[in-house]
Amino acid sequence: MGLSGISHWIIILVIVLVLFGAGRVSGLMGELGKGIKSFKEGMTDEEEEKRKRYDEQRRAEGQRQLPNEQDPIDVTPRRNEPAATPPRDDEAR
């Protein structure tokens, strides 16, 4: 005997309307709708702020890098410089 039947829900709805009145129930639903709308706006504002902070942080990191750090390092020996020979085993002793 739970509240599974539609007739039970109709009786409960009628009792709520009698106790609170139709105007008060509709006012509560309007306030609930405004609260949900405000919550959604707050969530989108928060996401936009996070995105702005992330973009600003990426720009700041890009400005901190020196132009030389982006160039590759050349480790090939030049033609006019002799290549260094590795030490022999008998010289190390």
d(CA 54, CA 47) in angstroms, rounded, equals 11
Task: Please report, to the nearest 10 degrees, the dihedral formed by the alpha carbons of residues 8, 13, 16, 20 taken in order.
Answer: -170
* pLDDT per 10-residue tile (average), the chain, 93 residues: 79 86 82 91 85 87 61 74 72 54
Residue with tokens 């260094």: 84
pTM: 0.37
Dump strand ranges (E) for 13-78.
none
- Considering only CA atoms, give the Rg of the chain: 37
pLDDT for 78 equals 73
66 to 61, 62, 63, 71, 77: CA distances (angstroms): 10, 9, 8, 10, 25
